[in-house]
Homo-oligomer: A and B are copies of this chain.
Amino acid sequence: MGTDNKKTAADTTGRIRLENKERIIKAAEKIFAKNGFRGATTADIAAAAELPKANIHYYFGTKEDLYRAVLDEIVALWVSSFREIKHDDDPASTLADYIRAKMELSKNRPHASRVFANELIRGAPRMKDYLEGALKEWVEEKAGIMDQWIEEGRMAPVNTRTLIFHIWAMTQTWADFEVQWTAILGTGDHLGDAEYEEATNAIISMVLRSCGLIPVPPRMTETEMKLTV
């Protein structure tokens, strides 16, 4: 009555509108992941969404707008995966949990991971703000806490920013370059739970060992040790 709640087409959140937008974003994510922004066509996206091409433009004005919407969803996904780290958390389990969360993302949302990778490869023209803002802050904060851990002797000294980058690299590679791994491992045409499990454990072991958080398993024969030097 007294409240001014007139709706415009743009920000209306009706049932049909929400459903269709989500459906289109999901389809767009797949197509953008495969062909990048310039390589993706609105016709392909429409086909993937099983809708007429005109609908895509009805819900998202331009291809550019749609792409931004996809990126927004992905950034939200990324941000939500950043669990809080507190200073008195246990370094080993904190790192292990984070690696597990990242690998879950790679396994469950490979398209999102690839859209992100595509955007980065091209120089992130639409994400510079995010990278230099929120993401940088996140890294600074987390690296800062880890640096404290090191100062307090709770983990071995390493460059913590570089460590974070390498964790990202190893976890993302299983989504972005899946074909490479399936081709070389010879596991059908996509990675199964077993491969992800194995990879996750390998990354956790590697990171924790190199930070002195778990012991490195002994070499097998002690008599051969002198050959190493």
Q: Which residues of A contact B (CB under 8 A)?
A: 33-40, 90-92, 114, 117-118, 120-124, 128, 131-132, 135-136, 139, 150-159, 161-163, 165-166, 168-170, 172-173, 176-177, 179-181, 183-186, 198-199, 202-203, 205-207, 209-213, 216-225, 227-228
Contacts and interface: CB of A to CB of B under 8 A. Distances in A.
A212 B206 contact: no
A49 B91 CA distance: 51
Contacts of A159: 198, 202
A63 to B, nearest CB: 12
A78 to B, nearest CB: 12
A181 B165 contact: yes
A124 B166 CA distance: 24
A177 B124 CA distance: 9
A139 B184 contact: yes
A154 B219 contact: yes
A86 to B, nearest CB: 14
Given A154-B224, A199-B162, A206-B166, A179 B38 contact: no
A91 B224 CA distance: 13
A228 B170 contact: no
Contacts of A217: 156-157, 212
A211 B161 CA distance: 22
A171 to B, nearest CB: 9
